[in-house]
Structure 1
Amino acid sequence: QKAPATDQLTARLVQARLFDLQGDKNRALAVYKAVARAPLDGIATPAKLGAIGLEMDKGALSPDQAAQQLEQLKWRWRGDGTELAVIRKLADIYLKQGRYREALDALRGAGKRLSGIPGATEIQADQSNAFRALFLEGAADGLQPVQALALFYDFRELTPIGADGDEMVRRLSRRLIDVDLLDQAAELLQHQVDERLDGVAKAQVATNLATVYLMDRQPEKALQAIWGSRTTLLPAAMNSERRALEARALMDLGRFDHALEVLDRDQSNPAREVRADIFWKQQKWAEAAPIYEARLGDRYKTAGTALTPGEESWLIRAGVGYSLAGDRAGLQRLSGRYGPFVAGARSAAAIRVALDDNLSGVAGTGDFANLSSQADTFVGWVNSAKQAFRKEADAKAAT
């Protein structure tokens, strides 16, 4: 039949696709390349796309080379399913190369312009899947936290509604906390509290938000986060954590008596730690020292393992507290138990002085000012808070 050239080329394009589907890749590639040389862009463009895909599969084209050709090809024919196919292939290459911004930019541009044609829903699905892979499945973990945050903000309209979207934000905020980008982490969590959550879920995220504000030395905002998310029937452990955070914020504001009222009879570890710090700030050495010693527990029984920085801070404060309170018996007990740890300690000199029984009841507050500054329990609390965020992230990843 003497069919028009357009119909003949269209038939050849269909033939190449059939060869491809039947597994005859070499014949398919030869036909694709022949059709791709046609001066009709509407037929040559899909043929060129088919040839690029097969050459990549054969290893004849590297991903960079293929991406370069597809970038040129997406301008050759526009406005229909062929352009969508080109962009989806290009975005797939970018994603596999870790070029996430280029991939999302390409998909978003096509999705906005071509929303009314068949196949547009697949572009939307590609964007959502790529965003999910980045911020829910860990693909963005290889990026620097600041880069991940910028990428999230630039494409935040892709954040899914519901639990998955909330978990994306929490995962990203944990990474920011880990590198002390506290303002940025707080902004993310504050948006969750204000706009997306209620009930127990809101209280949990608000608790994390209060922790971040305290780490950033903003106790007023920490109190606002706790007070603004109060609700009934919270788990006992969460209530205890929130009480400790509220008391710590009040302590930082100098409201010591109010802080102690909030703690009431709570004997959880976080509550005891805050209570000891409050007594310390009030210079109630006799009340503070036993609590710091109790926080160490039976740690003296494992002398073969070095003390953590937090444990060293508790030990120094316990020793200084007993000295300033004139409690020789307490200081002798502490020295006998923790003397073996001194040699391997990071703050060996400070611990040695803190445990020196000769200073008991003699040294004054001013003599221990420099020593106490080496036992900043706030730093230890921040480190433990970061560890808690990491454990939470690991637990989520395991499930």
Structure 2
Amino acid sequence: MRLPALLLVAVLAAAAPARGEGPVSVPMRVGTHPDLGRVVFDWPRRVGYAVEEEAGRVVIRFAEPARIDLAAARRPPRNVLTIGQDGDAVAMRITPGARLRHFRLGNRIVIDLRDPAAAQPSAQRPPERAAAPSTGVARPSAEPSAPRVPTPATPTPERPAALPQAAPAAVRALSEPSALTAPPRPAAPVAAPIPAAPAPNPSPALQQDIAASLPAPGTTRFRLVHGAPGIVFDAGADAAIAMFRRGDRVHLVVDRAITPDLAALHGHPVFGRLESQPAGDATVFSLALPAPARLAARRDGTSWVIEATRHAVPADAPVLRAAADAGPPARLLFTGGNPGQTVAIADPATGETLLVGTLRQPGPAVLFARRLPEFDLLPTMLGAAIVARSDRLRLRALAADRLVLEAAAGAPLGLGMQPGDEPPPAAIAMSRLLELPAGPVPMLLERLRAVLSSVNATPPLTRGRFRRDAAETLLALGMPQEAQAMAAIAFQEDPRSREDPRLLLAHGIAALLSGRPGDAQGIEDPRLPLRDEVTLWRALRALSHGQGTAAALRGSAPLLLGYPEALRARTLPLAIEALASGGEPAAAASLLAAAVDMPGLDTARAMLAEAEGRATEAIVILERLATGRDRRQRAIAVRRLAELRLTAGTIDGAGAADALEQSLYAWRGGDEEVALRRRIAALRIAAGQGQQAFALLDETRRLFPDHAAGLGAPLQEAFLGALETAPPLAAATLFDANPDLLPAGARGEAAVRVLAERVAALDLPDRAAALLRRAMEATEHGPTRAAIGERLGVMRAAGGDAAGTIAALDASESTEIDSALAARRTILRARAMARSGARDDADTLLVGLGPAGAAARAEFRAEIQDWPGAAASMAEHLAATLPPPSAPLTQEHRSAIARQAAYLALAGDEAGLATLRSAQGGRMEGGALAEAFGVLTADPVRGVEDLPRLQRDLGLARLLPTRLEALRAGSQVTR
């Protein structure tokens, strides 16, 4: 018995292409199930193998040399005593009576050791079929729930070298738009069948050719469809099929055992690698077809036509609806199709039992996946597919239009569904990435317990998929913090989990719902496939950061209606509120209508009413929520009530700020609280409460250091408001503590000037001067520094401190100032120099200013009683500053003209006075200055008739010194 197998293995090894890599490292995994032990060899590529079974011993030989990782052999699975490597083979000692079953799943080779036959009920042991001679086509399996594999000592050789080369072509065909994206068209004609017999009396050679072209007796011929990527086969008028996806492969189940003839498909870019596997009284076909490509089925007479397409499922496509039947007993009904036979096969993805309900007519499919503790309902392309996690499940056709999933012996089935509990069509039609289980809390907790048990029974480096299932279950339970922690542990334990799109998305969603949007980067990971679910959460994350628009959420938000109840209750209100406040009231209203009486939507209703202009209705709802028990809704209601009343004018900005401040402690943390604090500060600044606004923003800066950079502008605004409105000493103290907040430019300079004057008005000149000096030292902006220094110099000069004036000017020198400021600083320096005795140097400085320093030079000449010189300087000043005759004079101009008249009078320049009177007399208008100007420029007394005028002028002359003193510059001058 051993010799033929050894010879065949040797032939396969010799025929295998030389890889030049040496022995391959092959991981081995083990698992224990209720009725069998499993050993899996995870090869990196597909290889041939042979299995030998002796009394109490099983030997597995591979077509290539390998180094088997036997680390898992320390804990052998059920029905296995020991596992060891014998040369290039793996030998296992098994328990007496254990039944061997082996098969292939992709590149993996699976060895199952079932319990002895005595432990199985006789009804579960179907009779073994007689071994049939090899025909190149796999024969039906004796096990209805698993693929049939070669009998012991029969090798499974590698596929011929020509076939694997078709894989890249298939992938290219799926990526070509012309291959699968053509618009739907009428049914393409299938290849014409070959005639059963030629013309009468054919020649012997022709008879041989016809015989060679006909399919072998008992086979079903598969042919290509003309003009489309599709195939056609005839398995009988009553043949029923089902189609579903598992990973990157699509599986086609036919409800009868057929022997397929696939020769006509060889070399086709899409269907050239179609594989078949018998499954009891059914046949399973598998095809590599990456998403989003899918298969569509139609009938052509008694034949089935299967076409590959990239088009999404049409909105009006028939649906195989799954609805709970309360019973008794409780069960799940599938309606909307014409059921054929039900088939139990091994799940191509996990090896678990898969219950498949086939349909005789094309169309109805399950579009919405559900995960329950006892089973998973898979999305399909035709028919129904259920992953059975409980041994008591049974799927059968109940009538001509219904399938039923029920528990054995009439026991109730734990569905976690209610009759009619199904998402609306808009949610069902959307594509998903997560597999979120649905059901009541006790059932979800039981599922979580089972998944955690699997985690504990699995080696740490392979726990990623179980922790992913646990994270999804925790999300379904509305426990995002726990789900995020579970996903984080998976990332740490299993390096492969960091590449799992489902786990990346689950972790990002959990972080976002936990109030940690900074940890939700997984939602934006480029490795996530483009699904409606991914688009939904990316839009929600963008809105949580104050970015994006509600329009991006509009198209995918209905998907939330299909989420488990606890998760839906957390997410749907957020989406509707974002739509209502983001300018999408129609989409928000549609979601509200679909949510019916779901709790927690009152805030959304109020926001929608506000968006639609129904302010009174919104206020009524918000007033009720403001006194409710829900903390989040109460906080939002208080805030929106304040804004609505401010808009309506029933409260002012200060009142709105007070109301909003009361809601600060109702909902803490995150971007939402920072935004609220900024809004309160803005209202207080507008209401003249700068000190309160600054205190609030300063606290915000300390509590939320991550947001400190974004608080710079509002903090400076509040600081300036506090300097202007707070009590002088309090404002000065505030400035001393935060000089760095003084903004550069005219506004900062003006604020410091005002504050200094307010402090000086309290008879605290030294305190005011110290404040100006601190402000001057704190700013690095040249013009601002020079302006503050000039103001400090004026204050020092007013106190008679010439040296302090010059020191302030020296400390604030800048080359970036404008000419007006430069002139004021030079004049101030010249006055300080004159006060300190350096009058000639001061006069030289003023001469250098030209007309800008003429007025100051006139004062200097008047102080030394050089009246002609003072009059000349003032004439230069007037020539440079007086407006044209057609323009009116300002108070400053009239004062300068009156001073010029005084200087001319004191100099005895009658001609100059006459010229000044004729040029400017008509422009002086009325008032004290006009009267003084009239006295100074009047004609001399020439007779008795001038005596009344002289008497009047003498009366005015008595007041002239006082009036002239008022004409001096505002700053002090030397005496």
Q: Same fold (TM over 0.5)?
A: yes
Query: Does residue 131 of structure 1 match 2:715?
Result: yes
Q: How many residues align?
A: 359
* Secondary structure of 2:777 counterpart: helix
Superposed, 1:379-394 pairs within 5 Å as 380=969
**1:273 corresponding residue in structure 2:** 855
**Residues 1:48 and 2:634 are matched in the alignment:** yes
Alignment-derived partner of residue 224 in structure 1: 807
Q: Which runs of 5+ in 1 are unaligned?
A: 360-366, 383-399
Counterpart of 1:172 in structure 2 is 751
CA contact (8 A) 2:746 2:784 kept: no
**Which 5+ residue runs of structure 2 have no aligned equivalent?**
1-439, 446-476, 480-564, 581-587, 593-600, 607-621, 942-955
Please report how far the alpha carbon of residue 274 of structure 1 lies from its aligned counterpart in structure 2 after TM superposition.
1.3
Deviation (angstroms), 1:215: 6.3
Q: Report the 3-state secondary structure (helix = DSSP H, G, I; strand = E; otherwise coil) of the residue aligned with 1:374.
A: helix
Pair 1:333-2:923 in alignment: no
Q: Where does residue 108 of structure 1 map in the other structure? A: 698
Partner of 1:396: none
CA distance in 2, matches of 1:67, 1:333: 65
SS of the counterpart of 1:347? Answer: helix
State which of 366, 373, 391 in structure 1 corresponds to 2:962.
Answer: 373
Structure with the higher fraction of residues in strand conformation: 2
TM-score, scaled relative to structure 2: 0.31
Cα 1:28/1:266, change in 2 over 3 Å: same
Please tell me whether the aligned partners of residues 213 and 221 of structure 1 are also in contact (alpha carbons under 8 angstroms). Answer: yes
Distance 1:35 1:230 in 2: 62
Contact 2:913 2:937 in 1 (8 A): yes
- Partner of 2:441, secondary structure, is coil
Write the mapping of 1:276-315 to structure 2, written as runs, cut at 5 A. Answer: 276-297=858-879, 302=884, 305-315=887-897
The letter for the 2-side match of 1:288 is A
The residue that corresponds to 1:121 in the other structure is 706
Of residues 317-326 and 2-11 in structure 1, the stretch that sits farther from structure 2 once superposed is 2-11
Q: Flag the 1:145–1:327 CA change in 2: closer, same or farther, 3 A.
A: same
Residue 347 of structure 1: aligned partner:
929
Structure of larger gyration radius = 2
Distance in 2 (alpha carbons) for counterparts of 1:374 and 1:179 = 29
Superposition RMSD in Å: 4.8
CA offset at residue 293 of structure 1? 2.6
Q: Matched residues in 1 for 2:784 and 2:924: separation?
A: 45
Question: Contact conserved, 1:46 with 1:82, CA < 8 A, in 2?
Answer: no
Partner residue of 1:397? none
Distance 1:300 1:130, change over 3 A: closer
8 Å CA contact 2:678–2:714 kept in 1: the answer is no
User: For 1:295-322, what per-residue CA distance to the aligned partner results, in whole angstroms no more than 9, with x for missing partners?
Assistant: 2228888556554333333323322222
C-alpha separation in 1, matches of 2:923 and 2:824: 31
Task: Classify 1:109/1:370 alpha carbon distance in 2 versus 1 (closer, same or farther; 3 Å).
Answer: same
2:848 aligns to what SS in structure 1? coil
**Bigger relative contact order (CA 8 A; separation at least 6):** 1
Per-residue displacement from partner, 1:112-134 (whole Å, max 9, x unpaired)? 3x34xxxx433x35642223345
Residue type matched to 1:330 in 2?
G
Question: Which amino acid letter does the alignment assign opposite residue 276 of structure 1?
Answer: A
Query: How far apart, in 2, do the equivalents of 1:36 and 1:250 lie?
Result: 70
The alpha carbon displacement at 1:352 in A equals 1.2
Shift, 1:280, TM fit: 0.3
Residues 1:320 and 1:368: Cα distance change in structure 2 (over 3 Å): farther
Comparing 373-382 with 164-173, greater Cα deviation is found at 373-382
How far apart are the structure 2 equivalents of 1:343 and 1:173? 38
What's the CA shift for 1:351?
Answer: 0.9
SS in 2 for 1:288: helix
> 1:347 and 1:225, CA in 2 relative to 1: closer, same or farther beyond 3 A?
same
Q: Summarize deviations over 1:123-173 as a string: whole Å, max 9, x none.
A: x3564222334578xxx4xx99454975585367666579x4465531313
Distance 2:655 2:811 in 1: 55
1:387 matched residue in structure 2: none
Q: In structure 2, how many angstroms separate the alpha carbons of the residues matched to 1:301 and 1:99?
A: 43
Q: From the superposition, tell whether residues 267 and 195 of structure 1 become closer, same or farther in structure 2 (CA, over 3 Å).
A: closer
**Is 1:154 paired with 2:739?**
no
Deviations 1:350-393 (A, max 9, x none): 1111113428xxxxxxx9684243234775456xxxxxxxxxxx
CA contact under 8 A between 2:871 and 2:904: conserved in structure 1?
A: yes
Alignment partner of 2:577 out of 20, 31, 35 = 20
Distance 1:316 1:371 in 2: 11
Letter in 2 for 1:375: L
Query: Distance in 2 between the 1:308 and 1:85 partners?
Result: 50
**How many Å separate the matches in 2 of 1:352 and 1:185?**
43
Structure 2 equivalent of residue 191 of structure 1:
774
Are the equivalent residues in 2 in contact too, given 1:244–1:270 (CA < 8 A)?
no
1:372/1:252 CA distance change after superposition, 3 Å: farther
For the residue of structure 2 that corresponds to 1:268, the secondary structure is: helix
Instruction: Check the 8 A contact 1:285/1:324 in 2, yes or no.
Output: yes
Q: Whole-Å Cα distance in 2 between the matches of residues 235 and 2 of structure 1?
A: 75
SS of residue in 1 equivalent to 2:857: helix
Could you tell me how far 1:199 is from its partner in structure 2?
6.9
Distance 1:306 1:345 in 2: 15
Counterpart CA distance in 2 for 1:212 and 1:304 is: 38
Report the counterpart of residue 2 of structure 1 in structure 2.
441
Per the alignment, residue 259 of structure 1 pairs with 842
Structure 1: how far apart are the matches of 2:799 and 2:567? 65
Per-residue deviation at 1:332?
Answer: 2.4
Instruction: Specify which structure has the higher proportion of helix.
Output: 1
Q: What secondary structure is seen at the aligned counterpart in 2 of 1:51?
A: helix
Q: Aligned with 2:715: secondary structure?
A: helix
* Code of the aligned partner of 2:579: Q
User: 1:224-268 CA deviation, whole Å, 9 max, x = no partner?
Assistant: 2223445789887766543322112234556534422443x4252
